[in-house]
Amino acid sequence: MDNLRDIVRNSRFEQELAAIVPNVERADEFLEGVEMVLARMPECGTQIGSSPVWFIPGWTVDLAIYYTFDGDRVTLLSICKTTPIQP
């Protein structure tokens, strides 16, 4: 069985999310999917240089999530609007 990490949303993330959800279609679905993936494989995102911060962009939604993680938890730091990645 997978070793699932806890997902923690910091206060900045919660504030940004509250402002984004009513304005971005499918933001809640994107977030739910990202949380499921990050709980299992946080390394699937992209590390920002040598910092402990990683990000994961949306493919079909114009959002990106920034986070850190350790062996026990993933901390969601920020969510912001971006230009969607074109496949």
Q: Are strands 63-69 and 73-81 parallel, antiparallel or unpaired?
A: antiparallel
pLDDT, one tens digit per residue, over 11-49 is 999 999 988 877 777 788 889 999 999 999 999 999 999
Confidence of residue 1 (pLDDT cuts 50, 70, 90): very low
Each domain of the chain, given as residue ranges in start order, spans 6-81
Tell the CATH topology of 6-81. YaeB-like fold (3.30.2310)
Looking at residue 42, the DSSP 8-state letter turns out to be G
Confidence of residue 76 (pLDDT cuts 50, 70, 90): very high
Q: Which residue has the higher pLDDT, 82 or 41?
A: 41
Average pLDDT over every residue of 46-63? 92
- Mean per-residue pLDDT of the chain: 89
Classify burial at 26, counting beta carbons within 10 Å of its beta carbon; exposed 0-12, middle 13-18, buried 19 or more.
Answer: middle
pLDDT for res 22: 73
